Structure 1
Amino acid sequence: MSIRIRAAERDGIVTVRALMTHPMETGTAKDSAGNLIPPHHIQTVLAESEGNTVMTAYWNVTISRNPFFQFQFEGSSGDNLKLSWTDNKGESDSTETTVG
């Protein structure tokens, strides 16, 4: 699993903190032999709660390796939250949690 997530509600606002494990290669770095490392980065991050999209982020090579991010939305304790990403190579991952 490449996503660690925590979601907590306070006064009707859910704060989500997520850490993703991903190389986020820009395509400009070189390996030890001097060859360019091909681009490999997350392109889309999607958060859904109770079947509704609450956040969509479109990323590119400017995001750092193993990105951490935080966002907020209106929600309730006990709601289901699903967070997923898709990268430029077609790889993807997702995880779910219950808002605390």
Structure 2
Amino acid sequence: MDSIILIPTIILGIVCLIVYLVLCYKKSISPNLNVIVNMFLLSSGIICGLLLMLGSVYEPAKAYLKGIDIYIFIGGLAVLFVSGQGLFKDLFLTTHR
């Protein structure tokens, strides 16, 4: 993972971690390691998603898209899934009485 992705991911993950720990403290619940790990993985997805969007409108950002193939695949899968759901809904659920 490039530092252009790693550093913002760590920063966003730490911010989310702090917010999560404060909320856990205020509600008197124990922090969950699964939630903490998932927050860092989701932070990586957010940073890569932003880079994907930026790369489509800003040419120099395209150079960083080579190292994030998994996110490009997941993004394509998400578009495919949501489009399939929408098409199914429009075709079959809106005509059902």
| TM-score bucket (shorter structure) | under 0.3
Of Structure 1 and Structure 2, which has the larger fraction of its residues in helix?
Answer: 2
Q: Which has the higher contact order (CA 8 A, sep 6+)?
A: 1
Of Structure 1 and Structure 2, which has the larger fraction of its residues in strand?
Answer: 1
Bigger-Rg structure (1/2): 2
TM-score scaled by length of structure 1? 0.22
TM-score scaled by length of structure 2? 0.22
